[in-house]
Amino acid sequence: MYGYKGRILYVNLTSKKVEVTNVSDDFYGEYLGGSGVAAKIFLDHYKKGLTYDSEYNPIIIMTGPMAGTPTPSVSRFIISSLSPLTGIWGESNCGGFFASYLKFASFDGIVITGKSENPVYLFASKGKAEIRDASKLWGLDTYKTEEFLKKENGKDVEVISIGPAGENLVPYASVVNRRGHLAGRTGMGVVFGSKKLKAVVVQGNEPVQIAKPSKYKEYLKEIFEVYKENPTMAALKDSGSNSSYDLSLQTGDLPLRNWSKGVWPEGDFLGSVKYKDKILVGIETCYSCPVACKRVVEIKDGPYKIEKGPGPEYETVGEFGGMLQIADIEFIAYVNDIANRMGFDTITAGSTIAFLGDLHENGVIDKSFLHGVDLKFGDKDAVLQTVKSIADRTGIGELVSLGSERIANLIGEKAKDYITTVKGLEAPMHDPRGNFALALGYGLSVRGACHVSSLVFPVSSGFMYFPEIPELTDFGDPCSEKLKPELAVKAEDFGMFFNHSAIWCIFGGAALNATQVVTLFNLVTGFDYSLEDILKRGEKIWYLKRGVDNLFGIESKDDRLPKKLKTPLSEGFTQDLAPNDEKMLSKYYKLRDIDSITGKPSKEKLVSIGLSDLLQLLYEG
């Protein structure tokens, strides 16, 4: 088999059974890889009443066919499961080196069910695997865990692990590779924790076979030239994901003070210049990526002293800077270090703290609700005290660890005006008030508010360009509803292939157009797909995930933005602007053949795209 290894490892932590299943070309040809394959496997595991901590809830770790090849920016993996945070389809995507090594160990993916009584880790090497004791590791942070496992198994292994946040079932716990590569969103680390699975270790050196090696080699030369000439890649190399910070702040893309302000002059202190001056000491990359956007930082002295390690990404700078109104890059790097070690998502954590700060400022809650912490915007000490208590869930940490939606449910109706979630997931650091397409991007994202769940944001923000797909080329004024539903449909269909199944990085992948990625995919796998073929498969994968959400109770009412994200601001670049999501959604449902009340795809649609198994579950129970 080319690209793929044709083998998925199945592990049951209750029975301790480890099995390898061979996968056919036809199956991969249909579901492509990554989260396309994961969604199909998840559906096959679906049982009514499934909860995140049920032993049947699978953790599905999947790579794409390009992982482990020299193709740039695509050696990534996804982790999927029922999300502990949102109760629907959970999915998180991660770079680093783990995906390649999983392929070198002779597996495309791992499916883990069951629950262990004692802490364990999984060791997979050369087509075999075993479950090993991890009692000594329980309680360690992700940095120490990885260090220990490398000592125990040799330097040539790759590790993903959870920290104390995952062990203590913080609903937005993450899974971490090499300290700074995180599968951060939707709480995949909690599913690990609930199964007492501390880590997965992979080792191997079996190369990935390329279907057309000489043509691939030639084509790759062209592709590397594309990377060299691309100014966006140069910006990413120079300043990482935070290279977009200054522009985001200026154009109203960066939410401020829990999405309530449009101007923040102090925010200038968090841009790429200050980042470099104050904390940057090096750069890192993911397997076979010439972009090297990962930052290495160090703070030698002062209250926020940290050893050399991964630096904060744009999203973290946005959350702990703009959202919480703290213009101190050293502070943010310090918080980032805690989150990486403890293993939790800085987007949900930052948004939840900002949400509480907003409620507090507006008198909806008082200090006693906050366990005595005087949480205010701009108050570094209070924010730090809060962050430090998340992983062990003590004091205010017990509250913040719930995430904003559960807290809002505790408070009741009054909290609804302050919340920033869609389908239970906090919106990231991009504002739909200056980019109306994003209202659909967030609203329809299958994992809850997310800017990379489809290509709506990367395309509408101008970061990506696929001139081969008309709907992704001409989509009108950013602040009009016109043509946005059409954009959303194609951005979802192509995105299911691009950054979900083939798993191109949303940053590094932006150097390429649709022809280039499809050509690379064909040269590696030996498939001979046209862009049309790819879009058709992407469409099927999207409906599959949407259907999974419907199985867990998602209806069309859940596709709306929260009030906070569609209330116009009285100042700044996006002053007086806000998207009308109702208008866009009604057109969108028609295009998708989705019922505007139940939110389910029609039976006819499901039959026409070959999802009769989903139809049965959705309509016949």
Interacting residue ranges for other proteins, rule: CB under 8 A: 231-232, 234-235, 238-239, 243-244, 246-247, 250-251, 268, 271-273, 461-465, 478, 510, 573
Helix (H, G, I), strand (E, B) or coil at 194: helix
- Which residues pair with residue 284 across a beta bridge? 294
508 touching ligand SF4, by CB under 6 A: yes
505 touching ligand SF4, by CB under 6 A: yes
Q: Give counts: helices (H), strands (E), the chain.
A: 24, 17
286 touching ligand SF4, by CB under 6 A: yes
Q: What angle do CA 252, 255, 259 make, to 5 degrees?
A: 115
Nearest to 475, CA basis, from 467, 504, 541? 467
283 touching ligand SF4, by CB under 6 A: no
Using DSSP bridges, classify how beta strands 77-82 and 280-284 pair: parallel, antiparallel or unpaired.
unpaired
User: Which is nearer to other proteins, 187 or 271 (by Cβ)?
Assistant: 271
Q: How far is the CB of 181 from ligand SF4 (least distance, A)?
A: 8
Q: How far is the CB of 463 from other proteins (least distance, A)?
A: 6
Q: For residue 486, what is the DSSP state?
A: H
User: Which is nearer to ligand SF4, 75 or 401 (by Cβ)?
Assistant: 75
293 touching ligand SF4, by CB under 6 A: yes
User: Which is nearer to other proteins, 165 or 236 (by Cβ)?
Assistant: 236
Q: Binds 552, which of ligand SF4, other proteins, none (CB < 5 to 8 A, cut-off by type)? A: none
Q: How far is the CB of 319 from other proteins (least distance, A)?
A: 20
Q: How far is the CB of 483 from other proteins (least distance, A)?
A: 15
Q: How far is the CB of 75 from ligand SF4 (least distance, A)?
A: 7
Q: How far is the CB of 417 from ligand SF4 (least distance, A)?
A: 35
Structure tokens at 197: 């699975």
Phi, psi of 94 (to 5 degrees): -145, 140
> Which of these segments, 389-397, 405-413, 490-498, 505-513, binds ligand SF4 (CB under 6 A)?
505-513
Considering only residues 93 to 112 of the shown chain, the ones binding ligand SF4 according to CB under 6 A are 95
Q: Binds 507, which of ligand SF4, other proteins, none (CB < 5 to 8 A, cut-off by type)? A: ligand SF4
Considering only residues 29 to 88 of the shown chain, the ones binding ligand SF4 according to CB under 6 A are 73
179 touching ligand SF4, by CB under 6 A: no
User: Which is nearer to ligand SF4, 95 or 309 (by Cβ)?
Assistant: 95
> Which of these segments, 28-36, 215-223, 281-289, 393-401, binds ligand SF4 (CB under 6 A)?
281-289
Structure tokens at 588: 């969108």
User: Which is nearer to other proteins, 211 or 479 (by Cβ)?
Assistant: 479
On the CB side of 11, CA atoms within 13 Å amount to 26
User: Which is nearer to ligand SF4, 58 or 95 (by Cβ)?
Assistant: 95
Residue entry with tokens 């191109």: 504
Q: How far is the CB of 508 from ligand SF4 (least distance, A)?
A: 3
Structure tokens at 411: 């408070």
The C-alpha atoms of residue 518 and residue 534 are separated, in whole angstroms, by 8
> Which of these segments, 62-70, 203-211, 290-298, 424-432, binds ligand SF4 (CB under 6 A)?
290-298
Rounded alpha-carbon distances, angstroms, from residue 106 to 12, 98, 99, 204: 19, 13, 11, 7
Using DSSP bridges, classify how beta strands 197-203 and 120-125 pair: parallel, antiparallel or unpaired.
parallel
Q: How far is the CB of 559 from ligand SF4 (least distance, A)?
A: 29
Helix (H, G, I), strand (E, B) or coil at 478: coil
Helix (H, G, I), strand (E, B) or coil at 453: coil
Nearest to 108, CA basis, from 50, 51, 24? 24
The C-alpha atoms of residue 593 and residue 579 are separated, in whole angstroms, by 23
Q: How far is the CB of 466 from ligand SF4 (least distance, A)?
A: 18
291 touching ligand SF4, by CB under 6 A: yes
Rg of the chain, C-alpha, whole Å: 22
Q: Binds 573, which of other proteins, ligand SF4, none (CB < 5 to 8 A, cut-off by type)? A: other proteins
Task: State which of residues 197, 289, 427, 429 lies at the interface with ligand SF4 (CB under 6 A).
Answer: 289
User: Which is nearer to other proteins, 460 or 525 (by Cβ)?
Assistant: 460
Q: How far is the CB of 593 from other proteins (least distance, A)?
A: 31
User: Which is nearer to other proteins, 511 or 618 (by Cβ)?
Assistant: 511
Size of the site for ligand SF4 (CB under 6 A): 13
Residue entry with tokens 């200026």: 250
Taking the C-alpha atoms of 519, 525, 527 and 531 in order, what is their torsion angle to the nearest 10 degrees? -40
294 touching ligand SF4, by CB under 6 A: yes
183 touching ligand SF4, by CB under 6 A: no
Q: How far is the CB of 273 from other proteins (least distance, A)?
A: 5
Judge contact between 512 and 506, C-beta under 8 A: no
The site map against ligand SF4 for 212-251 (x = CB under 6 A) is ------------------------x---------------
Task: State which of residues 35, 81, 125, 285 lies at the interface with ligand SF4 (CB under 6 A).
Answer: 285
- Which residues pair with residue 398 across a beta bridge? none
Structure tokens at 406: 């559960």
Amino acid, res. 334 = Y
User: Which is nearer to other proteins, 145 or 242 (by Cβ)?
Assistant: 242
Amino acid, res. 325 = Q
Q: Binds 291, which of other proteins, ligand SF4, none (CB < 5 to 8 A, cut-off by type)? A: ligand SF4
> Which of these segments, 135-143, 292-300, 387-395, 554-562, binds ligand SF4 (CB under 6 A)?
292-300
DSSP string, 540-597: HHHHHHHHHHHHTT--GGGGSPPGGGGSPPSSSTTTT----HHHHHHHHHHHHTB-TT
Structure tokens at 454: 């489809």
Tell me the three-class secondary structure of 360-388, residue by residue: HHCCCCCCCCCCCCCCCCCCHHHHHHHHH
The C-alpha atoms of residue 241 and residue 206 are separated, in whole angstroms, by 32
Phi, psi of 292 (to 5 degrees): 55, 60
The C-alpha atoms of residue 110 and residue 102 are separated, in whole angstroms, by 9
Could you give the angle at which helices 514-525 and 213-229 cross, rounded to 10 degrees? 150
Q: How far is the CB of 573 from ligand SF4 (least distance, A)?
A: 27
User: Which is nearer to ligand SF4, 72 or 171 (by Cβ)?
Assistant: 72
Q: Binds 92, which of ligand SF4, other proteins, none (CB < 5 to 8 A, cut-off by type)? A: none
Which residues have C-beta within 8 Å of that of residue 368, sequence separation ≥ 6? none
User: Which is nearer to other proteins, 140 or 512 (by Cβ)?
Assistant: 512
Which DSSP helix (H) or strand (E) runs through 158? strand 157-161
Q: Binds 465, which of ligand SF4, other proteins, none (CB < 5 to 8 A, cut-off by type)? A: other proteins
Q: How far is the CB of 413 from other proteins (least distance, A)?
A: 38
Binding region for ligand SF4 (CB under 6 A): 73, 95, 236, 285-286, 289, 291-294, 505, 507-508
